[in-house]
Amino acid sequence: MTSLAGTNTAETDTAGLLAEELEEGLAKSTRDDPEYLSWDSKARRTITVYIPLAIFVIVLLFPFYWMAITSIKPDYEMYDYKQFTPFWVHSPTLANIKKLLFETEYPRWLMTTMGIATAATFLSVGASVLAAYAIERLRFRGAQHVGLLVYLAYLVPPTILFIPLATLIFQFGMFDSPLALILTYPTFLIPFCTWLLIGYFKSIPYELEECALIDGASRLQILRRITLPLAVPGLISAGIFAFTLSWNEFIYALAFIQSTEKKTVPVAILTELVTGDVYQWGSLMAGSLLGSVPVAIIYSFFVEYYVSSMTGAVKE
């Protein structure tokens, strides 16, 4: 390990990690930290933790950076790596975004996607709350088996369903209508939300409901006044999950929607903006970026709910 100490200074002074590390070291010395019991030197930590972590973060975020930087580059910069270094933008322009917003139907696609995702989310969360409540709280005979069946439904991938669903949608006369997506998205949203909410209902003490029963509340009153208010964080995370999943859905939207103005953002970008042999990378990247922003915003507001319920859902 002494040989590593030599490389330490060169490695750390680059990213200003040193200051953070010192700070952390101070904080750590006051904590009863099991890791600190080992021979955990600063050099070792830099090599084994900070550098790999920095590489991970850079690799995971680079495509987004590349997306962002491409969307504000003028064309003459984008295709001329000799004169302009591609990693930076010299004269940023909003032309790509302007073109996207005013010369294509992008705003309309955004609204359509928003509408479909919202409707599918409300439908799925509503159905899931009732189902999760019945499975977890009404404790009817066979509830465990019904729960298992709903869980199994989550394991059926949309890619084996879309062909028969397309014929079904056609028979119902819903082809090329947003209703087709609003009604089919719950097939993968409901199992997920139900699963998540069952876990959440488990954490609410059953005694609260028993008290209410003794006080003379009806089952509906219990659900409305006790269980639901307590399950609000669970409902929020189920809602976020459902919204992001329906925003990201692709194959149903690709197969069931035909007319340009009714397409959702992911499908429209791929089928409407990719035309001919010359790709308009600037507008494509701007479209991808703008299409990612709504989910990223929602996610950033509720990231704690998201992470805890994601891990919670897996643990349950």
Helices (H) and strands (E) in the chain, counts: 20, 0
Please state at what angle helix 17-29 crosses helix 2-15, rounded to 10 degrees. Answer: 120
Q: Which pair of structure tokens corresponds to residue 243?
A: 């919204």
134 binds another protein (CB under 8 A): yes
- Residue 176: CB minimum distance to another protein, A: 13
Nearer to another protein (CB atom), residue 3 or residue 38: 38
- Residue from 58, 94, 111, 163 binding another protein (CB under 8 A): 163
Least gap, CB of 261 to another protein (angstroms):
19
Phi and psi based region of residue 216 (left: phi greater than 0; alpha: psi -120 to 50; beta: remaining): left
Query: Site residues for another protein, window 167-206 (CB under 8 A)?
Result: 167-168, 183-184, 186-187, 190-191, 194, 198
Nearest to 112 by CA among 291, 235, 302, 296: 291
Q: Among 2, 159, 259, 275, indicate the residue that binds another protein (CB under 8 A).
A: 159
Residues 261-300 that bind another protein (CB under 8 A): 265-267, 269-270, 281, 284-285, 287-289, 291-292, 295-296, 299-300
**Judged by CB under 8 A, does residue 58 bind another protein?**
no
Applying CB under 8 A, the site for another protein has a residue count of 114
Nearer to another protein, 108 or 122 (CB): 122
Residue corresponding to tokens 């397409």: 263
* Helix, strand, or coil (residue 249): coil
Query: Could you give the CA distance from residue 240 to residue 296 in angstroms, rounded to a whole number?
Result: 11
- Which among 4-12, 94-102, 104-112, 307-315 is the span making contact with another protein, rule CB under 8 A? 307-315
Smallest separation (angstroms) from another protein to the CB of 260: 17
Query: How far, in Å, CA of 108 to CA of 260, rounded?
Result: 10
Let me know: does 119 contact 182? Beta carbons within 8 Å. yes
Which whole-number Å values give the CA distances from 70 to 20, 35, 89, 99, 268, in the listed order?
32, 43, 8, 14, 19
> In this structure, what DSSP letter does residue 5 have?
H
Rounded to a whole number of angstroms, the minimum distance from the CB of residue 210 to another protein is: 11
Return the structure tokens found at 157: 């991938």
Provide the minimum distance between the beta carbon of 164 and another protein in the complex, in angstroms, as a whole number: 4
Contact mark string toward another protein, 19..38, x via CB under 8 A: -x--xx---x----xxx-xx
Asked whether the beta carbons of 289 and 67 are under 8 A apart, the reply is yes
Determine the longest span between alpha carbons in the chain, in angstroms: 79
Span of 7-15, 88-96, 98-106, 166-174 interacting with another protein by CB under 8 A: 166-174
Q: What is the number of residues in the chain?
A: 316
CB of 158 to another protein, least distance (A): 8
100 and 286 Cβ atoms separated by less than 8 Å:
yes
Report the site for another protein in 75-114 (rule: CB under 8 A).
78-79, 81, 86-87
> What sign does the CA torsion over 295, 297, 300, 306 have?
negative
- Per CB under 8 A, the list member of 92, 107, 173, 229 interacting with another protein is 229
Verify binding: residue 1, another protein, rule CB under 8 A. no
For the bound state, the minimum distance from the C-beta of residue 6 to another protein, rounded and expressed in Å, comes to 22
Is 225 a binder of another protein (CB under 8 A)? yes
